[in-house]
Structure 1
């Protein structure tokens, strides 16, 4: 009896171990089927986006089959909410972002006719099964013989399950095109600052995650407010300025809505509506938040190889407001600042260091009227191209962010 029971127990134990191995194998297969796939060889912009998009949507389709997820039974549709693809360097949504979204929709329709893409809005939020997040990076190429030598664009995409916040599919692709259309859409083109904050950084990080990882909480938890801001941007693009203003104001009342993007929207919308005093108040709030996050990266555009601001009367009028508000902020605070000048990667290193220093010094002089102690509490520094973000040296819109002056908070004893 005991001997037979021992044999039976041994058999059951062996069967259990075999079953466990089968389950592990199936689990590994499921994970493998949704692993991020990188195209080693760079492709043209359109081909790279199609490759990444097709891979992404096929991963979702396989994931549904492996896990038995019956999505959209009531409607027969699987709803994907599309968060605008962001430029990882400038934190802007641009024309290349819109092109990615168009191709993504086309490739999704090829994979399944029940895949439906909707904009990121509050109305669509609860009904969406997934959120699609993306980022366009410009960084050193990491594959093949040219690894680390050349910088090029790379698209990273991720699909996040809305309820759990987990990444269920991801893909990326390198882009061989040296230039893409980085013209910002209106809501970003009119912004007075580059709006890179914790939410945007979280979006960029999430877009590069592998399946199974949890989306960055700074990004994922703020999606409802981001939905409202995306709607406001859409209204702004459509010239529905009063509607956009109402949405930006509503976002500012939300606990997680008091961010740079909100106040940039309030500034530019009020300005377009010729509510100039309200616009300046909004810019002051934007500067305060930038001060708290040590990110006051204003879009002060200079002429190529010049210390003069770009020859645009409208922009110069805005620059006067921006510099006045920044000066007043530091005048009433006890902090000190570094005025950091930068230049694009064209011309000699020595010339650009001098040019960027002259730009920073020119800005310091303009701010002195509203910040009388600026000579004692600030230091202009010329970085030349040492801290280029793009570094293409094209001297056009693509590397405009390299020709910038930004403000960095510093301990007064370290100036």
Structure 2
């Protein structure tokens, strides 16, 4: 008898989810809202739109679905869409989302994004804040998506425009301190999912990595709270998982080892970062230079580790058969011609330092300057908020005969 009831309940649930997907797909081509609004109002509107979409099931199917699940949601911390970083304003947006849901949508329980709660949740909410190229509609766009974890289907998605012109886009402490840009295939999947229309599948790799992402977030929270031993333990746990070969995880290991004075371990970990970055052709290092110069910043808190970074990059580059293009980038300050020249000069300087560490690289390294043509942030603020725009990239290419 119990088995029969369970089968019936599962069949009804499958039917309900199927109906939800059909209804959501009918809404899949909603136009992006054109009216920008203040930040708090835009966040509230995005949440309201998202939650209303979950209530579009026929009444009896919604009732069936509500009896089969606890409607528990975890919120994967919001990211800045271009860089894949958490910023001060994305953190505030996340807090506003939680407040709005707790106040207006009590049928959902919002649980912490951690290793325990991810196993109990039916849904994951994620989102991005994007600097909009079409400033006429508002300088920023907020994307939110709600995905049913078990089916992998996005069941609701909302977009609002934000009229505020001065949001705090500084990266949070972990992302500010990370030696490399950790935006990898998994982060790109997160960003795509936040913009995926209802009824369509969320990014598979993003969903697959969710359990590890919770461990990474626990570690990052401990790091930013100054609990370095705890952070190191959680980063180590994340790195040992089957999908733990991630730049953000190794960056966390490197940062905590450095903070705890474990210099040899930190250098070994940075070597792993360099190796993984070259293997995946995704190594962007935050070497910071004096304005208008090829000299690194003289502040030892920032540049003391640079010789070790160069040593490890050189060692890893020397071990591969391919060649490597060293590309300099600059932020959007000054003329295009000046920045093109400066970015090339910086790449040439870094190349020379690498050859000094490993002379055989003289035949394998090339230099290139992009100026500000490939800015990630693009504000021209020349501060921590756009440090990624002044990165040095290392791209693996075939060697010409």
TM-score (norm 1): 0.85
1:286 aligns with 2:273: yes
Of stretches 55-64 and 132-141 in structure 1, the one that deviates more from structure 2 is 55-64
Query: Is the Cα contact below 8 Å between 2:102 and 2:110 reproduced in 1?
Result: no
* Corresponding position of 2:170: 183
1:119 shift after superposition: 2.0
Could you list the runs of 5+ residues in structure 2 that have no partner in the other structure? 1-18
Query: Is the Cα contact below 8 Å between 1:304 and 1:395 reproduced in 2?
Result: no
Which aligned pairs between 1:213-362 and structure 2 lie closer than 5 A?
A: 213-362=200-349
CA distance in structure 2 between the aligned counterparts of 1:400 and 1:45, rounded to whole angstroms = 24
Query: Is the Cα contact below 8 Å between 1:96 and 1:182 reproduced in 2?
Result: yes
CA distance in structure 1 between the aligned counterparts of 2:58 and 2:172, rounded to whole angstroms = 35
1:95 aligns with 2:82: no
Q: 4+ residue stretches of structure 1 with deviation over 4 A? A: 25-37, 63-66, 69-74
CA distance in structure 1 between the aligned counterparts of 2:92 and 2:244, rounded to whole angstroms = 28
* Corresponding position of 1:370: 357
* Corresponding position of 2:33: 39
Counterparts in 2 of 1:345 and 1:66: CA distance versus 1, 3 Å: farther
* Corresponding position of 2:145: 158
Counterparts in 2 of 1:356 and 1:105: CA distance versus 1, 3 Å: same
* Corresponding position of 2:388: 401
CA distance in structure 2 between the aligned counterparts of 1:366 and 1:106, rounded to whole angstroms = 51
1:354 shift after superposition: 0.9
CA distance in structure 1 between the aligned counterparts of 2:201 and 2:358, rounded to whole angstroms = 46
Question: Which residue among 57, 75, 88 is the counterpart of 2:51?
Answer: 57
Counterparts in 2 of 1:366 and 1:63: CA distance versus 1, 3 Å: farther
CA distance in structure 2 between the aligned counterparts of 1:125 and 1:359, rounded to whole angstroms = 44
SS at match of 1:171: strand
Query: Is the Cα contact below 8 Å between 2:83 and 2:377 reproduced in 1?
Result: no
CA distance in structure 2 between the aligned counterparts of 1:95 and 1:66, rounded to whole angstroms = 42
1:394 shift after superposition: 2.7
Query: Is the Cα contact below 8 Å between 1:156 and 1:207 reproduced in 2?
Result: yes
Q: Could you report, residue by residue, the CA deviation over 1:114-153 in whole angstroms, capped at 9, with x for unpaired residues?
A: 32222211110121121001122234229xxx48xxx933
* Corresponding position of 2:159: 172
1:66 shift after superposition: 7.1
CA distance in structure 2 between the aligned counterparts of 1:179 and 1:397, rounded to whole angstroms = 15
Q: Could you report, residue by residue, the CA deviation over 1:260-280 in whole angstroms, capped at 9, with x for unpaired residues?
A: 122111111111111011111
1:173 shift after superposition: 1.7
1:376 shift after superposition: 2.2
1:178 shift after superposition: 3.3
Counterparts in 2 of 1:103 and 1:270: CA distance versus 1, 3 Å: same
SS at match of 1:338: strand
* Corresponding position of 1:7: none
Question: Which residue among 80, 91, 94 is the counterpart of 2:73?
Answer: 80
Could you list the runs of 5+ residues in structure 1 that have no partner in the other structure? 1-24
SS at match of 2:301: helix
